[in-house]
Amino acid sequence: MSRRLKAYLISILLIMAVSPPSHGLSLGGLSIGQVEINGIARCSLNGDPNAPPISNGTVILTCGGLTANLAETLTQPNGFFLMFLSFLQTLLFTPSSCYITINLPAGNCSIYSPDGVLSAVLTLASVAVGNNTNVASFVAGPMLDNIF
């Protein structure tokens, strides 16, 4: 973890210690305590839903401005991935500036992309309202070449 990210995380913890808990992620007026992100990575530059899945590829969540990855996970044999963000990660998560990437070649995929990366934007799928915490579920759109 970079020194800059550590300093940023420490400052977030200090702010949390002196601030009310409502300063985390908020969607539609609801305070969000947990975030889950899922999707399917396919071996295609244009998001072809019939392309073979990318198995055992590293999926990375990056949010604007951070130099380090916010979260990582691996795809399953069917290309499916699921990541859960910790409370601290949820505080750093801004859906409009976050995206999913997978580096190529990954797993069983050998397509060529000029920048070597497939990317996907996130879409809010649902918010589950609970007694103790609200959970926001996001779906990664199709993995595409050069969406940024």
Is 18 within the bounds of a domain? no
* Mean per-residue pLDDT, 94-116: 87
Beta strand pairing call for 34-40 and 134-140: parallel
Look at 16-20, 124-128, 129-133 and tell me which has the smallest mean pLDDT. 16-20
Query: Number of folded domains in the chain?
Result: 1
Is 51 within the bounds of a domain? yes
> pLDDT value at position 5?
59
The model carries a pTM of 0.79
More confident residue, 18 or 59: 59
Give the percent of the chain with pLDDT over 90: 47
More confident residue, 40 or 148: 40
Contact yes or no for 69/8 (Cβ under 8 A): no
pLDDT of 3 above 90: no
Which domain does 135 fall in, by range? Answer: 24-145
> pLDDT value at position 7?
57
Distance from C-alpha of 87 to C-alpha of 70, rounded to nearest angstrom: 12
Q: What is the CATH number of the domain that holds 90?
A: 2.60.40.10
Contact yes or no for 75/43 (Cβ under 8 A): no
pLDDT confidence bin for 11, thresholds 50/70/90 = low
Q: What stretch of H or E contains 5?
A: helix 3-18
Length of the chain equals 148
Closest CA to 84 of 73, 97, 69, 100: 73
> pLDDT value at position 19?
43
pLDDT of 23 above 60: no
DSSP string, 66-129: -SS-SEEEE--TTSEEEEEE-HHHHHH--GGGEEEEEESSBTTB----TTSEEEEEEEEEEEEE
Is 1 within the bounds of a domain? no
Look at 20-24, 30-34, 95-99 and tell me which has the smallest mean pLDDT. 20-24
pLDDT of 72 above 80: yes
